[in-house]
């Protein structure tokens, strides 16, 4: 992919946690890229490393450590190797929130309880020179207004515990967008919300993405939500990307057995409603006992005996543009 079309390029990223129980590899040689102005959905079961990887992009991966690979961000000031930056240094502080912002999973724990919503948004804007002095308060109110916050002037004076979950999520989005970042990382931004509020948040993200021309990495385990907002989808399992495709291609013709199993577990109106949903057998392996070969082979009904349990599959590209890491597609072009 040409660098001009890419805003974020991750190659062979490895993140490990050194614990008393042993070494945990949360992200294992991950390759991923994000196009400018696009929305990439990142899906997978809980525990596959999605959040750990996303935290590393703004260098808040501690207590984990980046122990291999490269993360190249093509920002306004040129290419930056994020993995080489000091997590507490000035260089990453200039990027964090201004160039790459994040919506965390639970806004109640992400927003400070001792400061008002307006004070927290204003701090980010003042820190990065977006607004200051007398212009700061109107800028904060305008930021809240841009995300559809009811009574934004009043909301700016309130504390997180005084507003609903949906309003806290809007405040978190307002804070993330207040500096007009090039990349927005949305980590399960609608998990704790009701369906109607979830739809409003998705519409809001879509509108703001188009208005600002930013790229979004949308992380979720909900494939239905990803289908509504993403242009492309990457499927992650045990710290690696096992499949990537355009959203229409992935949902109509999934390639990897793991992706196929995830899609079969989703309720659909075009199926008989009398039977139970299919359940993906087994569990994500223990982090201290990662399987050899293909990491999915212990749960795969289509595994090739003598091969999948010994040899990690290479990533290949198919004729429809999909990228898949699976021995079932051994003849595809290596990506």
Q: Is residue 320, in this structure, part of any structural domain at all?
A: yes
Is 259 within 8 Å of 242 (Cβ atoms)? yes
Cα gap 74→333, rounded to integer Å: 27
The residue among 133, 165, 180 that closes a domain is 180
More confident residue, 331 or 124: 124
Residue 272 C-beta-side C-alpha neighbours within 13 Å: 4
Among 154, 180, 206, the domain-final residue is 180
- 20 is a domain residue: no
296 within some domain: yes
Q: What is the distance between the alpha carbons of residues 301 and 328, in angstroms, rounded to a whole number?
A: 12
Place of tokens 């927290």: 120
- Please, what is the Cα angle at 235 between 233 and 236, to 5 degrees? 140
Number of domains forming the structure of the chain: 2
Query: What pLDDT score was predicted for residue 275?
Result: 67
Distance CA 253, CA 259 (A): 10
Domain encompassing residue 291:
263-334
Neighbours of 177 (CB within 10 A): 23
The CA-CA-CA angle for residues 64, 67, 69, to 5°, reads 120
Judged on CB neighbours under 10 Å (0-12, 13-18, 19+), 24 is: middle
Question: Is residue 327 in a domain?
Answer: yes
84 inside domain = no
Contacts of 280 (CB under 8 A, 6+ apart): 258, 261, 262, 265, 299
Residue 126 has pLDDT above 90, yes or no: yes
3-state secondary structure 78-139: EEEEHHHCCCCCHHHHHHECCCEEEECCCHHHHCCCCCCHHHHHHHHHHHCCCCCHHHHHHH
pLDDT at 1 over 50: no
Q: How far apart are CA 82 and CA 104, in angstroms?
A: 20
CA angle 60, 40, 252 (to 5 degrees): 140
pLDDT > 90? residue 17: yes
Residue 66 lies in a domain: no
CB–CB of 13/69 below 8 Å?
yes
Beta bridge partners of 17: 24
From 180, 208, 227, give the residue that closes a domain. Answer: 180
8 Å CB contact between 161 and 194 = no
Tell me, yes or no, whether 329 lies in a domain: yes
29 belongs to a structural domain: no
Instruction: Give per-residue pLDDT as tens, 261-272.
Output: 998 887 766 665
Whole-model pTM: value is 0.91
pLDDT digits (tens, 9 = 90+) for 50-81: 999 999 999 999 999 999 999 999 988 889 99
Cβ atoms 169, 201 nearer than 8 A: yes
Q: What percent of the chain has pLDDT over 90?
A: 63
Mean pLDDT computed over every residue of the chain: 89
């Amino acid at each position: 992919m040409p660098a001009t079309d890419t805003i974020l390029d991750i190659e062979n990223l490895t993140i490990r946690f050194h614990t008393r129980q042993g070494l945990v590899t949360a992200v294992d040689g991950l390759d991923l890229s994000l196009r400018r102005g696009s929305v990439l959905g990142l899906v997978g079961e809980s525990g596959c490393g999605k959040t750990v990887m996303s935290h590393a992009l703004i260098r808040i991966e501690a207590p984990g450590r980046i122990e291999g690979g490269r993360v190249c961000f093509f920002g306004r000031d040129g290419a930056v190797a994020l993995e080489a930056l000091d997590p507490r240094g000035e260089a990453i502080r200039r990027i964090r929130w201004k160039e790459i912002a994040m919506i965390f999973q639970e806004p109640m724990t992400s927003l400070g309880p001792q400061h008002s919503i307006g004070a927290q948004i204003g701090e980010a804007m003042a820190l990065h020179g977006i607004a200051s002095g007398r212009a700061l308060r109107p800028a904060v109110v305008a930021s809240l207004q841009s995300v559809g916050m009811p009574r934004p002037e009043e909301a700016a004076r309130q504390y997180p515990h005084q507003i609903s979950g949906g309003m806290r999520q809007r405040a978190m989005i307002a804070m993330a967008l207040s500096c007009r970042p090039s990349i927005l990382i949305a980590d399960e931004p609608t998990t704790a919300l009701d369906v109607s509020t979830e739809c409003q948040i998705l519409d809001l993200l879509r509108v703001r993405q188009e208005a600002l021309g930013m790229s979004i990495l949308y992380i979720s385990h909900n494939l239905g939500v990803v289908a509504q907002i993403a242009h492309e989808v990457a499927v992650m399992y045990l710290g690696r990307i096992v499949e990537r495709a355009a959203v229409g291609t992935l949902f109509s013709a999934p390639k990897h057995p793991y992706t196929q199993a995830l899609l079969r577990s989703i309720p659909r109106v075009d199926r008989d409603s009398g039977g139970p949903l299919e359940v993906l057998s087994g569990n994500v392996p223990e982090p201290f006992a990662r399987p050899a070969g293909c990491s999915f082979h212990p749960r795969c009904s289509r595994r090739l005996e003598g091969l999948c349990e010994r040899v990690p599959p290479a990533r290949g590209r198919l004729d429809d543009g999909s990228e898949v890491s699976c021995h079932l597609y051994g003849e595809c072009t290596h990506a």
